[in-house]
Structure 1
């Protein structure tokens, strides 16, 4: 099954909902960063949420960034998504190994620890919108549910999951976000709560072959829902040698001069996709000339 998300509305637009399957996207991130299973699960959940929240953006140039900073061994994660289904991300410490939690599952909360969830929406205005809340569990889905309710005043339910194979590749990944609009009636709220209480884990449903549409059929059962859009999701990084050149120029003459003095070709890796860009001594000297008096 290819990676994609669906968007739906229900109960005369009292409810809006999103669901996605993201196995290939999360597996690409795992391969790019050689993440351990618990980091793959954590980053995969955040990538899935990023893809769905990115689809909430209005403009084609709008960008969403999710930042998790915690005191756990992983340190934190950053995910950036556009409005067209492109998403990318990385973990500060990709190789964390932890024992299973009390439920025998990957201890994402233990890897993340206590800290902050920050949501940044860059919509081309002078300043981006920034909202943040304290992490509630470090398990990502519960933290986003809390964020939506407290920072954006939108009652929401977020379900996210990543299932690993025995060889540590990604077997399944996906999730849903369902939100109540301000004019939602009590009957609608109660029906949605009843449906959500019956939902088993996202990964078990995906592993049984349930599609994003199927996820929303379970979440929105009996609520007169309709699908509005289907959109492909993919791990997409827009890094380039030109962008890295600009970053190098920005660090100034002294630093580039030190690199030249070392007399060796340097490699600069993209945080998001881990692709390496090499700069020879002649290229570094060319960048030095572009620095001006910085």
Structure 2
């Protein structure tokens, strides 16, 4: 089954609800970054959250989540766009911690204490960034706290990543429900009751349930309307051309030094671990372009 996201709304206008399947997306991140289980869970949850929060992005809008904890994982950085594309990395991908007493991956301990920053770049002059202190390091609880504190949006968020003994990701996904001002108490009571019975998202997905099935579980007894279904995937915007422009941007002196000392350059994209090699001839061409740009400025 391909990964996809479902966006729906209560027919009485009391809430918005989104659910997403991200198993293949998180597994690709695991393979690209050679993640160990705790890192897979932490990065996978953050990527899933970025897709859920980015459902209303348009055009060239970008949403970025930074989880900056003091735990052994270090920083987690994820960005998503309006096309349902997400990318991300964790600073220390090979971290092992003992499981929690309940047998769960110790994501909270691996993330540690620190801050969560969410930036919405909507193409305006200044992107909006909201920040909150991490409350648990478990990602879902932290982002729900952010939504209530920074955006004043009462929300229920559930994220799950299930990792097999061979380190592969066998199930991943999430659910986000956001209450609207006109929500009546009876609706709140029904949602609360349904959420209390909801099994872990990852176990539902492993058993074959779809985003629509998960939405139906949470909204049992309430009429909802599906507004959109769209594919999601791991996708990085890096390219050889962009990195060549980066080399041009660092200037003649720096590129000349690379040429003389190393005879070339290798650039690794943090987001997707793709490696780009620039040999001697490539760097000589970069220097020609730098000089050409300098002459245009002088003219």
* TM-score normalised over the length of structure 2: 0.94
Corresponding residue for residue 184 of structure 1:
183
Task: State the secondary structure of the residue aligned to 1:55.
Answer: helix
SS at match of 2:64: strand
| Structure 1 CA distance for aligned equivalents of residues 163 and 290 of structure 2 | 47
2-structure distance, mates of 1:176, 1:29: 20
1:8–1:226 contact (8 Å) kept in structure 2: yes
> After alignment, is 245-254 or 181-190 more displaced?
245-254
Q: Give the match for residue 68 of structure 2.
A: 69
TM superposition shift of 1:11? 4.8
Aligned residue runs from structure 1 range 72-83, under 5 A:
72-83=71-82
Residue in structure 2 matched with residue 239 of structure 1 by the alignment: 238
For residues 118-142 of structure 1, give each alpha carbon's deviation from its aligned partner in whole angstroms, at most 9, with x where no partner exists: 1111111111111111111111100
How far apart are the structure 2 equivalents of 1:100 and 1:164? 13
* Residue in structure 2 matched with residue 151 of structure 1 by the alignment: 150
Q: Deviations over 1:23-48 (max 9, x none)?
A: 10001001110011110011011111
- Partners of 1:54 and 1:84 within 8 A in 2: no
Q: For the Cα contact (< 8 Å) 2:11–2:225, is it kept in 1?
A: no
Q: Secondary structure of 1:162's match?
A: strand
Task: Trace 1:9-48 onto structure 2 (pairs within 5 A).
Answer: 9-48=9-48
Native 8 Å contact 2:13 2:182 kept in 1: no
Q: Once the 2 structures are TM-superposed, how far is the Cα of residue 282 of structure 1 from its aligned partner? A: 2.4
| Equivalent position of 1:206 in the other structure | 205
Looking at structure 1, the residues matched to 257 and 249 of structure 2 have their Cα atoms a distance apart, in angstroms, of 14
Alpha-carbon distance in 2 for matches of 1:234, 1:13: 29
User: Does the residue aligned with 1:214 lie in a helix, a strand or coil?
Assistant: helix
Residue in 2 aligned with 1:131? 130
**Residue 169 (structure 1) aligns with:** 168
Supply the distance in 2 between the matched residues of 1:196 and 1:271 (Cα, whole angstroms): 37
User: Where does residue 54 of structure 1 map in the other structure?
Assistant: 54
On the 8 A contact 1:43/1:89 being kept in 2, the answer is: yes
Q: Name whichever of 218-227 and 185-194 sits farther off.
A: 185-194
Alpha-carbon distance between aligned partners in 2 of 1:181 and 1:2, rounded to the nearest angstrom: 31
CA contact (8 A) 1:199 1:219 kept: yes
Q: Per-residue deviation at 1:183?
A: 2.0
CA RMSD of superposed structures (Å): 1.5
Distance in 1 (CA, whole Å) between partners of 2:101 and 2:251 is 50
* Partner Cα distance (1:65, 1:177) in 2: 17
Counterpart Cα distance in 2 of 1:71 and 1:159: 23
SS at match of 2:56: coil
The alpha-carbon deviation at position 271 of structure 1 amounts to 1.1
How far, CA to CA, are the matches of 1:19 and 1:122 in structure 2?
Answer: 23
Point out 4+ residue stretches in structure 1 off by more than 4 angstroms.
Answer: none
Give the deviation of 1:291 after TM superposition.
3.6
Higher mean displacement: 145-154 or 77-86? 77-86
CA distance in 2, matches of 1:210, 1:277: 39
State the TM-score, normalizing by the size of structure 1. Answer: 0.96
Distance 2:159 2:82 in 1: 19
Cα distance, 1:211 vs structure 2: 0.8
Aligned length, in residue pairs: 293
